Structure 1
Amino acid sequence: MTKPDSKRSSVALVTGKPANAAEEQVNNGSSDPSVSSSPHHALTPATPTKHKSAKQVSRDNLSRRNTESEVFDDGTNTFFWRAHTVTVLFILTCVLVYVTLLEETPQDTTYNTKRGIVASILVFLCFGVTQAKDGPFTRPHPAYWRFWLCVSVVYELFLIFVLFQTVRDGRQFMKYIDPKLGVALPERDYGGNCLIYDPGNTTDPWHNIWDKMDGFVPAHFLGWYIKTLVIRDWWMCMIISVMFEFLEYSLEHQLPNFSECWWDHWIMDVLVCNGLGIYAGMKTLGWLSMKPYQWQGLWNIPTYKGKIKRMAFQFTPYSWVKFEWKPASNLRRWLAVLGIIFMFLLAELNTFYLKFVLWMPPEHYLVLLRLVFFVNVGGVAMREIYDFMDDPKFYRKLGQQAWLVAAITVTEFLIVVKYDPRTIMLPIPFFVTQCWFLGIVLILSWTLWRFFIRDITLRYKDARRRKQEVTGDCGRPHGNGGTATPSGRSKLNGISESLRHRKS
């Protein structure tokens, strides 16, 4: 959407330029290095020598928010950035008039019901794309992220509807989406023969490895590449990756799909697929953090190569913010990071349990659409969570997309609990319970030591040191009447220091 020219002054706060210079350096495109390569065009300000005060930090966060959320128009892409609310309303009205007056309604109740539900969803999406509140992302277009916000609302409403049905009606309702659904499917067991090299099979002794090399291998790699771009932290990604393998070990008595060979868990999943995906994601994050964010209008670029490059960069971030989670800095951030890890693991488990209780095969397109949905909404939700943690004074409430993602994850888990409580309540093996109990005790012990016992100890030591310093100062001998009389040399030094201070 087009923003007024008065808001362009926020760019000058970040770039250090006056407003007219910010207008000359157009904010809608990535300038080619041959066009603009001077270092003062960078959006990142110079690092100050002194520590920033609280007001300076909040002012920097406000400037960062403005440069990432506001979309500036230089006059060349006005049609592209405009919301087109009247145009969308006119087209929607024309479609409804056509359906009402010119189209004959079919005499099929099931078909009309489906079409009515789809039409209602489309009307809601049209309203949301044009009228909903913008999120933290603006590329490739703010309407793109408003669309996924509205899809989140529709998906949450669908989950609520399924949650309020009986188990039989909920599973049979899936037939309205795809007639092939609603039939119980056997789960595939990836365990069994775990020999990497099977000498008993003379035809193909490596058949166990080839059996595991299905379409889920590149899906694992691509999924963890995108998760790394969402989380933007190597340690958190590795912890989630390893923890999910422990969850598969712990829950393989509930879902046969979790039963895998040891080398499938730790070599193919953690090291190869997840590890390479995390490595590629971190390399991409490094490139995005070093990339110069200098934007220029498409029609202001003289060369065709520059125009094509500018169109490609439309799908890159408008500006870059490095996530510094710092979980051990305070108790609030530590609990928030634990909550993020927990929600990630719960969303991963919901993928397997939902298709199990709703009788959907792993290769069904609904499973793939759910993953595509979380890919698009996960990045926005994680950014809103980070902003809420990093500057709670400016971001006083949790973002709308983060709120919806949390509600969707919890609702999916409640559907699993309602539709198959017998599987969920299967007793966990005793040694697995011991391992999880030990892990929880270690986390709680470290939390108590780091944020309570350690702080109390440090405060006690600091108070004791100050008390000793005060006692030492009181015990020192003083001159006449306890008042120290400065010597002649100290007087001269003091006079010279005062003169030097006045001259400076």
Structure 2
Amino acid sequence: MHPDGSIQAESNSSKADRALFNSSEARRARLLPSAEKKKRRMPRKGKGRREMAGSRHPLIEAVDPLAEIFYRPRTVTVMTVGLCLLAWFSDAFGLYGTKFSAENGVKRGLWALIGTFLAYSALYAPHTFMIRPHPIVWRIVHGVTILYMLFLVLVLFLDADQARHAFKYLYPDLGVALDERAYGNDCRVFTPENTSSRFANIMDTVLDEFVLAHLLGWVAKALIFRDWKILLFLSIGFELMELTFAHMLPNFNECWWDSWILDVLLCNNIGMLIGLFAIQRREKYGNEWVGVSSQPTILLKAKRLFLQFTPETVERYEWKMMSSPKRFIQCMTLAAACLACEVNAFFMKFVLWIPPRNMLNTYRLFVFFLMVIPAVNEYYYFVTKTGKEQVNKLGVFTWIFLSCTFLEFLIIFKFGRELFREPWPPLVKWSWMAAGASTTVALLIWTVSRRNKLKTQ
């Protein structure tokens, strides 16, 4: 099989080899240098030396002839072209004699810095377990997430006014306090006085511009987490977050039928069903991929090229959240981190005065979406694999995701000290204290009873 998407029908022996590749231990052995590998002699010439130069992803065994050109090393070419572009756009040789203002020069320099860093990441960033549509895509994603993390570090060292007005360099209309919309001002289901609709409040909510984005978001979550229990916990958990922080953010003030019927029962569940159904359908394709060059018609070649942007294989995650107290805590840690990331989105735009329709919110969402896809995969192997396949440390994307989430929390806490002065409602405070105490007691009882049961066996 050719994991890059250019895959011929495989024999039984190659299928057995591929099964070994799917284990976490085998992947790590391929990705990480070992003393045993260092002892092997370096090939003196030919193909072996080129392969050890890091030009191809360790999980890619063979490449379709049509795609071979995209898997050859181009480090010197990229460096040469990149340096020429920098020389041209910086007018290093004074060819067109244009003088830039200090502000314009800084902007151009920052874009050049970003481009240079992403070019380096594309060539030399660490390999991940993601190889579709091309390993270089995920190396660039790694670079983008690092840049976002460094950007958060920079914002953290500014004060609130400096950070808010700094965004005016990207969008001049920013830097103005927001007028947050509250969805729970009128929670009546029936509005007889409204001439356009007897259910005006419900229709306004259903036809809101963010409903489709909400549905697609839950389709994406189902494709990422691939487990109904965790998805259900995230669904209910976010509504509880809205109730918890409604006294801080007017945007979280929603009607009961909006939160629990339209969101939890309908929109969220429909998105989950679509995503899990897509996972189930994708599992039926199996591993028998045929390369583009082996397709008989142009239509089939185009279809195969499109499938290159889908996962090579889809593995249904078996989190087994209720199998043990430790696994329950591990799954709850993942869910808590994801809920914190979602809640951060609303607080970040509030403290930084970024309107909901501004593209910066979309860029942040896109960065986190690309970050979470490999992060959840890495965390799944980290918590589920045992014995020889055990993974002893967090993956790089999981590390970056947790770091970015906590950095955003620090920014919100720092900038929000003057904004969120209202005390916690007693109901919210005592409810969470009771939930925490009950969960702790339940986990202790579960741990003791499970330990006693294992002793008797």
TM-score, structure 2 normalization: 0.86
For 1:441 and 1:114, the matched residues in 2 are separated by 52
The equivalent of 1:278 in structure 2 is 272
For 2:14 and 2:159, the matched residues in 1 are separated by 58
For 2:23 and 2:3, the matched residues in 1 are separated by 19
> What amino acid maps onto 1:128 in structure 2?
S
Unaligned runs of 5+ in 2: 32-56
The equivalent of 2:144 in structure 1 is 151
Once the two structures are superposed, residues 420-457 of structure 1 have per-residue CA deviations (whole angstroms, 9 ceiling, x without a partner) of 11444532211222221222122212211222x11343
Once the two structures are superposed, residues 467-504 of structure 1 have per-residue CA deviations (whole angstroms, 9 ceiling, x without a partner) of xxxxxxxxxxxxxxxxxxxxxxxxxxxxxxxxxxxxxx
The alpha carbon displacement at 1:97 in A equals 2.4
The equivalent of 2:227 in structure 1 is 233
Is contact 2:64–2:292 with CA below 8 Å preserved after alignment? no
Is contact 1:69–1:136 with CA below 8 Å preserved after alignment? no
Is contact 2:20–2:26 with CA below 8 Å preserved after alignment? no
Q: Does 1:70 align with 2:77?
A: no
Judged with a 3 Å threshold, the aligned counterparts in structure 2 of structure 1 residues 439 and 42 are, in CA distance, closer, same or farther, namely farther
Give SS of 2:197's match: coil
For 2:418 and 2:16, the matched residues in 1 are separated by 56
Is contact 2:152–2:407 with CA below 8 Å preserved after alignment? yes
Once the two structures are superposed, residues 74-126 of structure 1 have per-residue CA deviations (whole angstroms, 9 ceiling, x without a partner) of 43311122342122111101112223112434341111111111111110010
Once the two structures are superposed, residues 202-258 of structure 1 have per-residue CA deviations (whole angstroms, 9 ceiling, x without a partner) of 343222123222111001000111011111111101111111101111211111110
Once the two structures are superposed, residues 46-93 of structure 1 have per-residue CA deviations (whole angstroms, 9 ceiling, x without a partner) of 9xxxxxxxxx99994445676996123243311122342122111101
For 1:315 and 1:435, the matched residues in 2 are separated by 45
The alpha carbon displacement at 1:460 in A equals 5.3
Is contact 1:28–1:296 with CA below 8 Å preserved after alignment? no
Listed as ranges, the matches of 1:437-476 within 5 Å are: 437-451=433-447, 453-459=448-454, 461-462=456-457
The equivalent of 1:193 in structure 2 is 186
Give SS of 1:76's match: helix
Is contact 2:225–2:376 with CA below 8 Å preserved after alignment? yes
For 2:406 and 2:309, the matched residues in 1 are separated by 31
The equivalent of 1:128 in structure 2 is 121
For 1:436 and 1:429, the matched residues in 2 are separated by 11
Give SS of 1:421's match: coil
Q: Does 1:433 align with 2:423?
A: no
Judged with a 3 Å threshold, the aligned counterparts in structure 2 of structure 1 residues 306 and 356 are, in CA distance, closer, same or farther, namely same
Once the two structures are superposed, residues 239-297 of structure 1 have per-residue CA deviations (whole angstroms, 9 ceiling, x without a partner) of 11111101111211111110111111011111222111111011011112222222232
For 2:4 and 2:450, the matched residues in 1 are separated by 49
Judged with a 3 Å threshold, the aligned counterparts in structure 2 of structure 1 residues 343 and 352 are, in CA distance, closer, same or farther, namely same
For 1:368 and 1:346, the matched residues in 2 are separated by 18
Give SS of 2:65's match: coil
Percent identical pairs in the alignment equals 34
> What amino acid maps onto 2:140 in structure 1?
F
For 1:103 and 1:459, the matched residues in 2 are separated by 79
Once the two structures are superposed, residues 381-426 of structure 1 have per-residue CA deviations (whole angstroms, 9 ceiling, x without a partner) of 1011111122365422211111111100000011000001144453
Q: Does 1:349 align with 2:339?
A: no
For 2:384 and 2:71, the matched residues in 1 are separated by 30
The equivalent of 1:92 in structure 2 is 82
> What amino acid maps onto 1:216 in structure 2?
F
Is contact 1:30–1:313 with CA below 8 Å preserved after alignment? no
Once the two structures are superposed, residues 134-164 of structure 1 have per-residue CA deviations (whole angstroms, 9 ceiling, x without a partner) of 1111111111111111011111111111100
Is contact 1:249–1:258 with CA below 8 Å preserved after alignment? yes
Judged with a 3 Å threshold, the aligned counterparts in structure 2 of structure 1 residues 321 and 232 are, in CA distance, closer, same or farther, namely same
For 1:107 and 1:306, the matched residues in 2 are separated by 51
Q: Which of 208, 212, 223 matches 1:214?
A: 208
Q: Which of 298, 304, 316 matches 2:298?
A: 304
Q: Which of 242, 246, 261 matches 1:267?
A: 261
Q: Does 1:419 align with 2:415?
A: yes
The equivalent of 1:491 in structure 2 is none
> What amino acid maps onto 1:151 in structure 2?
V
Is contact 1:58–1:394 with CA below 8 Å preserved after alignment? no
Judged with a 3 Å threshold, the aligned counterparts in structure 2 of structure 1 residues 258 and 403 are, in CA distance, closer, same or farther, namely same
Unaligned runs of 5+ in 1: 1-24, 47-55, 463-504
> What amino acid maps onto 1:316 in structure 2?
T
Judged with a 3 Å threshold, the aligned counterparts in structure 2 of structure 1 residues 197 and 448 are, in CA distance, closer, same or farther, namely same
The equivalent of 1:138 in structure 2 is 131
The alpha carbon displacement at 1:307 in A equals 1.2
For 1:57 and 1:320, the matched residues in 2 are separated by 16
For 2:76 and 2:258, the matched residues in 1 are separated by 55
Judged with a 3 Å threshold, the aligned counterparts in structure 2 of structure 1 residues 57 and 139 are, in CA distance, closer, same or farther, namely closer
Q: Does 1:80 align with 2:70?
A: yes
The equivalent of 2:392 in structure 1 is 396
RMSD: 2.6
Give SS of 1:77's match: helix
Q: Which of 242, 250, 253 matches 2:244?
A: 250
> What amino acid maps onto 2:236 in structure 1?
V
Once the two structures are superposed, residues 323-358 of structure 1 have per-residue CA deviations (whole angstroms, 9 ceiling, x without a partner) of 111123344322211110110110011010000000
Is contact 1:230–1:382 with CA below 8 Å preserved after alignment? yes
For 1:359 and 1:371, the matched residues in 2 are separated by 17
Deviates further, 99-108 or 318-327: 99-108
For 2:216 and 2:17, the matched residues in 1 are separated by 34
